[in-house]
Structure 1
Amino acid sequence: MLLVFKVVVATAAAAYAVAAGVMYIAQRQFIYFPDPARTSPSAADLPDVSERILSTPDGERIVAWYAPAKPGQPTILYFHGNGGALELRRETIRRYLDRGRGMFMMAYRGYSGSTGSPSEAANVADAKLAYDSLVADGVNPEDIILYGESLGSGVAIQVAREKRVGGMVLDSPYTSILELASQHYPWLPVAWLLKDRYDSIGYIAGVHVPLFILHGEADNVVPVEMGKRLFAAANEPKEIRTIPGGGHVIHDGPTFALVDDWITRLRASRLHSAN
């Protein structure tokens, strides 16, 4: 009996070690779900949007869609979530353009025709490159509003720690990928295994820009409690709106109206302060 027990324990331990090893090797496949298809803005029925290519210091090419803002309007520097392509966000882009806002949406490595493979370090570095590209084009940093969608919230926060911007919107944000992974894979020692941690709760104290958080109360991907905790840790000025019954990353008219209203009030406040 003792021998059988030892065999069972050894087999279970070996199976666990193999599973942990597989998860370690393939971990980024559980974080990033790129759609590599490259679609032009015109094919997505966005005639006022142009494609831009950002060349990275390490030799990759990042695809971005860009439409300048109307006079007196801000530009949204948008960091998307972990799945899909730029084309998937075409209605979001159209809504902002219809309001005169500018839009610069970059595709992470491996997404929408961008070369390379995504990682936290690469995504954040490329996001800063996108910011620098906008500023080099003559966009005033105070006229740049960062928008982080889900995974992109962790990218936006790291950009906001180092770059001057007018404000930041976080859509369905998490406290950290480490904590999120621990909830989804409680049987794994993720604290030992995880490479891309996106420690937003640790970085948010270093962010000093107006903040707006939007989160669905029925989000089953990133619990709304994470958004609330991130909000509590953030500096003023800040606002949060939770959507009753809302799921993960709600891109519809009513939620757009909430963000758009915040941007309008933010801009009005800035103009009032300037006068």
Structure 2
Amino acid sequence: MRRILKFLAVGALCAYGAVLALLYVKQREMMYPRNPARAEIASANLPGVEEATLTAADGERLVAWVVPPREGKPVLLFFHGNAGNFGRPIRQTRFRALTQDGTGLFAVNYRGYGGSTGSPTEDGLALDARAAYAAAVARFGAERLVGYGESLGTGVVLKLAADAPLKAVILEAPYLSTAAVAQQLYPFIPVGLVMHDQFHSDRVIGKVKAPLLVLHGQRDGVIPFSQGEALFALANPPKRFIRFPEGNHENLPAHGSVPEIRRFLADLNTSRLAGSQTVTAAAGR
């Protein structure tokens, strides 16, 4: 019996080691399920959209979509989530909704996504954000730029906002860190020891001084709502947290996120945006 138990224990350790090795080797493929194909801008049905090509500091070539703003409107410097490219219908629908009132858009495909060269890493995405910021500032000015991060992009925009001037920052479905999210998915893995790209937003957000809006669905099955709440607690005021009782990871526009974003932008530099505010989305009240 002792020999059998020893054999089973060794077998279990070997299996665990094999799973650990597989996750270690394949982690970036799992973390960045990208579509490298260049999305057809003509099929986006996005009024006024233009395509621009940027060069990151390390030489990678990045494809961006730009919608110029109407007079007096801000520009959303948009950093997308980890999946697909700009050809995703859900992303194009979001772009149309966000720009319908004349708000501008400057959205960059990370390296390895949507026709951009290279392969994604945490450090590489930081360079991409810097390149997008520089190009957007040159065209529109820093005073009009509102950083917008979606899911994975929340960590990208926070790292940028920690030392680059922005009018405001919007986070949709943010996390404390991607390591914290992964640990919940793989509780049997020492994620902190083996994960390359950990995007520690919890260590960065305290450096951000721009007004902050956080949007999070209480039914989010990808990034726990509790992580959005915890990250918001670490942020500097003025800040506003909007909870969406029926919202999941991708459907916040269907539950009123765009009107909440417009309300936030209208409230910038007014007494209506002060201190720390936590409210339920108007559509969910």
Name the stretch that deviates more: 7-16 or 53-62: 53-62
The residue matched to 2:54 in structure 1 has which SS?
Answer: strand
Summarize deviations over 1:97-156 as a string: whole Å, max 9, x none: 22111100111122111111111111111011100111122x221210000001100001
2:41 maps to 41
Q: 2:102 aligns with which of 74, 92, 100?
A: 100
- 1:169 is paired with a residue of what secondary structure? strand
Correspondence 1:201-240 to 2 at 5 A? 201-240=202-241
CA RMSD of aligned residues (A): 1.5
Tell me which residue corresponds to 1:259. 261
Partner of 2:192: 191
Note the C-alpha offset of 1:268. Answer: 5.8
Which residue of the other structure, out of 119, 129, 141, is the alignment partner of 2:131?
Answer: 129
Deviation at 1:245, TM superposition (A): 1.8
1:133, 1:156 → 2: CA distance? 15
Q: Could you tell me which amino acid in structure 2 is paired with residue 107 of structure 1? A: N
% identical aligned pairs: 38
Residue segments in structure 2 that go unaligned for 5+ positions in a row: 273-285
In 2, Cα distance between the equivalents of 1:127 and 1:226?
23
- Quick check: 1:41–1:47 contact (8 Å CA) kept in 2? no
Instruction: Report the more deviating stretch, 87-96 or 142-151.
Output: 87-96
2:146 paired residue number: 145
Q: What aligned pairs does 1:8-87 form with structure 2 within 5 A after superposition?
A: 8-87=8-87
Cα distance in structure 1, aligned partners of 2:21 and 2:161: 35
Counterpart amino acid of 1:50? E
2:276 matched residue in structure 1: none
Alignment partner of 1:165: what SS? coil
94 and 268 in structure 1: CA distance in 2 versus 1, 3 angstrom threshold? farther
Residue 200 of structure 1 is matched in structure 2 by 201
Query: Which residue in the other structure is 1:111 paired with?
Result: 113
Is the 2:244–2:255 contact (alpha carbons within 8 Å) kept by the matching residues of 1?
no
Q: What is the TM-score when the length of structure 2 is the normalising length? A: 0.91
Structure 1 letter corresponding to 2:130: K
Distance 1:10 1:169 in 2: 49
1:267, distance to aligned residue in structure 2 (A) = 5.9
Please, which moves more after superposition, 259-268 or 140-149? 259-268
Unaligned runs of 5+ in 1: 271-275
Alignment partners' CA distance in 2, 1:67 and 1:210: 23
Matched, 1:245 2:246: yes
The two structures have a TM-score, normalised by structure 1, of 0.94
1:120 aligns with 122
Distance 2:137 2:256 in 1: 31
Task: Identify the residue that residue 273 of structure 1 maps to in structure 2.
Answer: none
- Give yes or no for the alignment of 1:160 onto 2:161: yes
C-alpha distance in structure 2 between counterparts of 1:154 and 1:116, whole Å: 20
Deviates more, 1:55-64 or 1:7-16: 55-64
Q: CA deviation at 1:253?
A: 6.5
Give the residue type in structure 1 aligned to 2:184: Q
- What CA distance in whole angstroms lies between the structure 2 residues aligned with 1:164 and 1:94? 26
Distance in 1 (alpha carbons) for counterparts of 2:184 and 2:98: 34
For 1:248, the aligned partner's letter is H
Aligned to 2:282: none
Report the Cα distance in structure 1 between the residues aligned to 2:42 and 2:266, rounded to whole angstroms. 28
Equivalent residue, structure 2, for 1:170: 171
Moved more, 243-252 or 185-194: 243-252
Q: Determine the C-alpha separation between the residues in 2 that align with 1:39 and 1:74.
A: 25
- 8 Å contact 2:57–2:127 — kept in the other structure? no
Letter in 2 for 1:120: E
Q: How many matched pairs?
A: 269
Q: Distance in 1 between matches of 2:53 and 2:33?
A: 21
Residues of 1 paired with 2:134 and 2:54: CA distance? 10
Match of 1:223, as an amino acid? P
What CA distance in whole angstroms lies between the structure 2 residues aligned with 1:9 and 1:97?
Answer: 58
Offset at residue 68 of structure 1 (A): 1.4
Aligned residue type for 1:156? V
Q: Report the Cα distance in structure 2 between the residues aligned to 1:32 and 1:175, rounded to whole angstroms.
A: 18
